[in-house]
Chains A and B, each alone.
Chain A
Amino acid sequence: MSGAHRSGPGRGTIPPFQTFLEANRAPVYRFLVVAVGPQDADDVFQETFMAALKAYRRLTDGTKLDRWILMIASRKAIDHHRAVSRRAVPSEDLPETATTDRGPFDADDPLWRAVRSLPPRQRVAVVLRHVLDRSYADIAELMTSSEPTARANVHQGTKRLRELMT
């Protein structure tokens, strides 16, 4: 399809940002809740869509916008994890500090603690695969890596989760 002249509405036209936001907000949120956790999902959601909004005027192709926003969200999730890691040591063996109980799961949910302990790229790859059911080819594209790397990230992350949870 790329490079072909498009005629009529649909295909290459850029949808209104509101339409794009409504179509993508739930999957992006579902991804972020597991990728960065319930406490920070809102913040990273704002960063993701603000970045998209700033770039939106310069878009020339309205197709595959669902991939484009997930690519931004993946990058923001990885950046966020790195920023958080710089601020504090992983608290796996430390007593949990009190957290608010908003969000769909508890901050000390054992599975979430295991997810949080994964290196950022593994974590994002695992969530794209298991929560959003993305193919390895998609994950490679979204994370700008090769397909074997995407596969390795998912497998290592999943293996590590199994170990932590048994």
Chain B
Amino acid sequence: MNVQRDLKGLSPRSDAARDSRAAAQDLARRAAAEGQIDVAVATMDSPIGELTVAVTRRGLVTVAFEGEDRDVLFERLARELSPRVMEATAPTDEARRELEQYFGGDRRRFEITVDRSLIGPFAQKVLRATSEIGYGELATYGDIAGRIDRPKAARAVGSALGSNPIPIVIPCHRIVGAGGKLTGYAGGLPRKETLLRLEGSLLEL
């Protein structure tokens, strides 16, 4: 008898890959139920491509667009928040539901709590001012600079908006160039345009 060969035969590689995937999904459900996940990550479909949402105990901490590197995102969350980053759907239910309602035209205001841990001090000010721009409204970079009493900082406002970790929910898409020109968007201009059309802000353009 060849013990090594026969024992390996008991444990086929392909079955372990498949069965361990199912076991890992059970693990995620259990870990979420026991409150052992610090950052829960899940994906959802949307009219602007697949979105990845991450939720901590404090709230929604990031929304990432399709095309962003998954490993880079997970490593950033692990480094800046907690290494206990895990794919799990239940903790993200509320965030995903509100986003779905928004894309379905049934929600004009997000109620979910946001976790601002990934936002630096200057960007905090910029993004708080941005959150005051309502559904269907637009503001310019200069408007936001004025609102935070830094009237000459339009360029810095632009880069703070570009670093927004919670796009859509913190509506940086509502900020446009002087004269209403659609300028940069971290998710790409077509996405910005889709969001503004959804909100009815682009009719006049």
Q: Which A residues lie at the B interface, using CB under 8 A?
A: 9, 13-19, 21-22, 25-31, 33-34, 41-42, 45-46, 49-50, 53-54, 56-57, 59, 103-105, 109, 111-112, 115, 126-127, 129-131, 158, 161-162, 165-166
Q: Are B83 and A26 in contact (CB under 8 A)?
A: no
Note all chain B residues with C-beta closer than 8 A to A18.
Answer: 41, 74, 85-87
Interface residues of B in 1-29 (CB under 8 A from A): 1, 3-4, 6-8, 10-13, 15-17, 19-21, 23-24, 26-27
Q: Is there an interface contact between A42 and B26, defined as CB atoms closer than 8 Å?
A: yes
| Interface residues of A, dominant DSSP | helix
Is B113 at the interface (CB under 8 A from chain A)? no
Please indicate the chain A residues that have their CB under 8 angstroms from the CB of B75 in the complex.
9, 15-16, 19
Verify A111–B7 contact, CB threshold 8 A.
yes
Known: A46-B30, A49-B27. A57 touches B83 (CB 8 A): yes
The reply to whether B1 and A105 form a contact with Cβ atoms under 8 Å apart is: no
Q: Which of B17, B19, B83 lies in contact with A41, CB distance below 8 A?
A: B19
Whether A25 lies near B23 (C-beta < 8 A) is yes
Give the complex CA separation of A129 and B3 in angstroms: 10
- B interface, by DSSP: helix, strand, loop or mixed? helix
Interface string of B47-91 (1 = CB under 8 A from A): 000000000000000000000000100110111001111110000
Chain A CB within 8 A of B143 CB:
no
Q: Is B31 among interface residues, defined by CB-CB distance under 8 A?
A: yes
Contacts of A126 in B (CB 8 A): 3, 7
Contact call B7/A17, Cβ cutoff below 8 A: no
With A26-B16, A33-B16, A50-B27 in contact, do A56 and B83 touch (Cβ < 8 Å)? yes
What are 7 A-to-B residue pairs whose CB atoms are below 8 Å? A15-B78, A19-B75, A45-B27, A50-B34, A54-B36, A59-B83, A112-B10
